[in-house]
A and B are shown apart, each in its own frame.
Chain A
Amino acid sequence: MASYESPIREPLILGDKNYKQITTDIVRSTEGVPPKLWFLAITIAGSLAAFYFFCVAWTVYYGIGVWNLNKTVGWAYDITNFVWWVGIGHAGTLISAVLLLFRQKWRTGINRAAEAMTIFAVICAAQFPGIHMGRPWMAFFIFPYPNSRGPLWPNFQSPLMWDVFAISTYFTVSLLFWYSGLLPDFATIRDRSKGKIRKAIYNALSFGWRGEAKHWQRFESLALILAGISTPLVLSVHTIVSFDFATSVIPGWHTTIFPPYFVAGAIFSGFAMVLTLMLITRKVLKLEDYITIAHIEAMNKIILLTGSIVGIAYITELFMAWYSGFIYEWFAFYNRALGPMAWAYWIMMTCNVISPQFFWIKNLRRNLYLTFFLSITVNIGMWFERFVIIVTSLYRDYLPSSWVDYYPSWVEVGIYVGTIGLFFTLFLLFARGFPVIAIAEVKSILKSSGSQARVKQKAKDEATAKGGYSEGLDLSGAHHDVKEN
């Protein structure tokens, strides 16, 4: 708060707000009877989620044979969806951790919902390795526990084993980070509640938070360190996911560019999903004053940056396949771009490389309709990226007699669509019962980044420029001389 902020900077909280108004605006969505639209949405999402469980039960009952995998394409839809969901789950922690370290104030409006989205996306992602084991009740085999087989330990040198640790750590740390940030806001809801039961529930959820000065000090210390360790964690998770492919010897996978390229792609798709959700949330919950066009523009800039990194990675990969002079590598890429599944490659190229380039133009970055459309386009493109990497590297292998076509069975599609239902069910429940914006954090930037703060700062700057003494205008909150005594 003690820093000077230029009045030219766009405000991050619009309208004439005070602390009380901020609480009312954000908590409103958790009070009263949910609107009809919410019931409609959760019915649709819930039905899809139910269909997901049906398809999983079908798979477990009949076996993995109900999927259209074969001996050439042994990995396809499930791993595509796994990587897609994990990628989406990267924006939340990036927003809350990296932007916290960089002291980007615009994170306060969107971090809560983005982190929630991260957690739900990782939950969806974690389904796939579980299901594709075929016997999910044996999932505990992946953990190193003393067993009667030797004990035979899991292979700690395998990237799949690294994945187990990366995903479970990422999920746990994201959950702890998100939940510790929620405590003060649950306390706010608790103290506004009238009903006894509601009060008791939110008191339990807030773990009895009171906002004592020493607790806030610890709270901030915790947030800072968690942000500090989450930053390399975010980068490590998708790096390790990319190792699943990069450490193999399949042409098209065996590439050193994979880790940075996967991380950029993950942030790219994660921000696209945040935008899709935020554009709907701000409209439906009437939070346009807190999730402003400035926030959306900032996210679009990240989409442009990461989208361009992904584009460069695609081209580098293609160039290296040719330049390496390795015929199998070159065949894999030639076949991707011009073979029978070239349509998937070109969908990927169009959605991921061309579409974000619109965001070089300021007016387009600030256009909500285009942003919404492109955010969905990017997620379609990023799904195809994983599909292209996985399926088109496998379906035409070294032996032409084993070349096959791959298309998913209804069960595979059902599981995929079902996880989207699961994701939205969780998100809708979150939007109903949880504060979707970090109330305490938004309040803490009101005096430096609210619209009134900008007006006051401008008046003060003008008075100073005239050489006048700005008494009576010093309301900006920029002055906090704590050490005066």
Chain B
Amino acid sequence: MDKYIVGLYDDEEVLLTAVKKVKQAGFHIHEVVTPFPVHGLDDALGLKPSRLHTVGFAGGATGLTIALSFMIWATAVDYPIIYGGKPFLSLPSYIPITFEFTVLLTAISMVVAFFIRCGLSISAKPKIYDERTTDYLFGLAIKVTADTSQDDYARINETFTNTGVAEIKVRDFDDDKK
């Protein structure tokens, strides 16, 4: 069962207070979808900081090591040739390529990690609660299960209404498969 009650808000500040109130009321917020990054939402939802920069650092460190060690090996060990009277191993002239390769691998590793972690792919079939949430509405989704009673439905609706919701809708992704 893949069914959600979605509260649609038309203002990010109303959404922020709503997130807090919904949490206080004891409901588990499945997801919040917004058309642009809303500042303060991470704290309100209690999201942990992203660890993407760690991936970037690892990528950068790999790039630096590969570039530097490869150039040293190629020019001083594998096939030493004198260029312009400089020593075989002349570190200053390796700096530009080392820097560029570090930046390159940092960027690529971070972007790849970002795509993988967010499940983004060219053939993705995203679960869209409402098509207006990439435009001007902010959606707050609560998952409903077979256990969810009529009473719970009523309480969720009430909480949404009390937090200034613009629209409440029930979205069942199982309907899409039929």
Do chains A and B interact in one complex? yes
Question: Interface residues, chain A, CB within 8 Å of chain B?
Answer: 1-2, 18-20, 23, 144, 150-153, 155-159, 161-162, 165-166, 168-169, 172-173, 176-177, 180, 183-184, 187-188, 190-192, 203-204, 207-222, 225-226, 229-230, 232-233, 236, 240, 243, 440-441, 443-444, 447, 477, 480, 482-483, 485
CB atoms of B79 and A219 under 8 A apart: no
Q: Can you list 28 A-B pairs, Cβ within 8 angstroms, ordered by A?
A: A2-B39, A158-B83, A162-B96, A166-B96, A168-B104, A187-B134, A188-B35, A188-B135, A204-B122, A204-B123, A207-B121, A210-B126, A210-B127, A210-B128, A210-B134, A213-B31, A213-B34, A213-B38, A215-B118, A216-B34, A217-B47, A218-B52, A221-B50, A221-B52, A225-B52, A226-B111, A230-B103, A485-B20
Which of B70-78, B153-161, B165-173 interfaces with chain A?
A: B70-78
Alpha-carbon distance between A203 and B131 when the two chains are bound, in angstroms: 12
Given contacts A169-B101, A221-B52, contact A180 B111 (CB under 8 A): yes
The answer to whether A23 touches B120 (Cβ under 8 A) is no
Residues of chain A within 8 A of B75, CB atoms compared? 153, 156-157
Query: Given the complex of chains A and B, what is the CA–CA distance between A236 and B99 in angstroms?
Result: 9
Task: Give the number of residue pairs across the A-B interface with Cβ within 8 Å.
Answer: 201
B31-83 residues at the A interface, CB under 8 angstroms: 31-45, 47, 49-50, 52-53, 56, 60, 70-71, 74-75, 78-79, 81, 83
Asked whether A209 lies within 8 Å of B96 as measured between CB atoms, the reply is no
In the complex the two chains form, is B13's CB within 8 Å of A477's CB?
Answer: yes
B121 contact set on A, CB distance < 8 A: 207-208
Q: Does the CB pair A191–B41 fall under 8 Å?
A: no
A440 touches B96 (CB 8 A): no
Q: Are A444 and B44 in contact (CB under 8 A)?
A: no
Which of B44, B78, B117, B125 meets A151, CB within 8 Å? B78
- Chain A residue numbers with a CB within 8 Å of B135 are 19-20, 23, 188, 191-192
A444 & B32 in contact (Cβ 8 Å cutoff): no
Interface of B with A (CB < 8 Å)?
A: 12-13, 16, 20, 24, 31-45, 47, 49-50, 52-53, 56, 60, 70-71, 74-75, 78-79, 81, 83-84, 86, 90, 93-94, 96-97, 99-101, 103-104, 106-108, 110-111, 114-115, 117-128, 131-136
Residues of chain A contacted by B122 (CB below 8 angstroms): 204, 207
Q: Chain B binding site: helix, strand, loop or mixed by DSSP? A: helix
Check B126–A209 contact: CB distance below 8 A: yes
Q: In the complex, are the beta carbons of B100 and A207 less than 8 A apart? A: no
Given contacts A173-B103, A226-B110, contact A183 B120 (CB under 8 A): yes
Docked complex Cα distance between A114 and B74 (Å):
39
| Nearest chain A residue, comparing its CB with the CB of B114 | A222
A482 touches B136 (CB 8 A): no
Chain A interface main SS type? helix
Given contacts A18-B136, A213-B32, A165 and B37 within 8 Å (CB-CB): no
Residues of A within 8 A of B70 (CB): 144
**Contact B41 A213, beta carbon cutoff 8 Å:** yes
Q: Which of A165, A169, A207, A444 contacts B124 (CB 8 A)?
A: A207
How far, in angstroms, from A169 to B100 measured CA to CA in the complex? Answer: 6
Contact of B107 with A156 in the complex, beta carbons under 8 Å: no
The minimal Cβ–Cβ distance linking A162 to chain B, given in whole angstroms, is: 4
CA distance A362 to B65 in the complex (A): 50
Which residues on A sit within 8 Å (CB–CB) of B115?
207
Pick from A157, A180, A440: contact of B114, CB below 8 A.
A180
Point out the residues of chain B lying under 8 angstroms from A188, CB to CB.
35, 134-135
Q: Collect the chain B residues with CB atoms within 8 Å of residue A144's CB.
A: 70, 74
A209: B residues at CB distance < 8 A: 120, 126, 134
Q: Which chain A residues lie closer than 8 Å to B20 at the CB level?
A: 485
Other-chain residue from A19, A176, A184 in contact with B136 (beta carbon distance below 8 A): A19
The 8 Å CB contact of A225, one of B44, B110, B128, B133, is B110
Residue ID in chain A nearest B115 by CB atoms: A207
B13 pairs with A480, CB closer than 8 A: yes
Minimum distance in angstroms from B56 CB to a CB of chain A: 5
Query: Do residues B108 and A211 form an inter-chain contact, with CB atoms below 8 A?
Result: no
A217–B48 CA distance with the chains assembled, in angstroms: 9
Query: Chain A nearest CB: distance from B75 CB in Å?
Result: 6
State in angstroms the CA–CA spacing of A104 and B120 once bound together: 29
Q: How far is the CB of B46 from chain A (nearest CB, A)?
A: 11
Q: How many angstroms from the CA of A411 to the CA of B20 in the assembled complex?
A: 67
Chain A positions within 8 Å of B126 at CB level: 187, 203, 208-210
Residue among B24, B42, B96 with the most chain A CB within 10 A?
Answer: B96
Question: How far, in whole Å, are A216 and B33 apart by their CA atoms in the complex?
Answer: 9
Q: B106 contacts which chain A residues (CB < 8 A)? A: 225, 229
- Contact (Cβ within 8 A) A172 B107: yes
Q: Check B35–A440 contact: CB distance below 8 A.
A: yes
CA A172 to CA B107, docked complex, whole Å: 9
Kindly report which residue of chain B lies nearest to residue A177, judged by CB atoms. Answer: B107
Q: Which residue of chain B is the closest to A18 with respect to CB atoms? A: B136
Chain B residues closer than 8 Å to A191, beta-carbon distance: 128, 131-135
A187→B39 CA distance, assembly (Å): 20
| Distance in angstroms between the alpha carbons of A196 and B19 in the assembled complex | 34
Q: A211 near B100 (CB under 8 angstroms)? A: no
Q: How far is the CA of A168 from the CA of B13 in the complex (A)?
A: 43
Cβ–Cβ contact B71 & A211, under 8 A: no
- Which residue of chain A lies nearest to B63 when distances are taken between CB atoms in the complex? A169
A482 touching B108 by the CB < 8 A rule?
no
A167: min CB distance to chain B, Å: 9
- Chain A residues with Cβ below 8 Å from B125 are 208
A243 to chain B, nearest CB (A): 8
Q: Are A157 and B74 in contact (CB under 8 A)?
A: no
CB-contact partner of A162 in B41, B97, B110, under 8 A: B97
A226 to B108: give the CA distance in the assembly, Å.
10
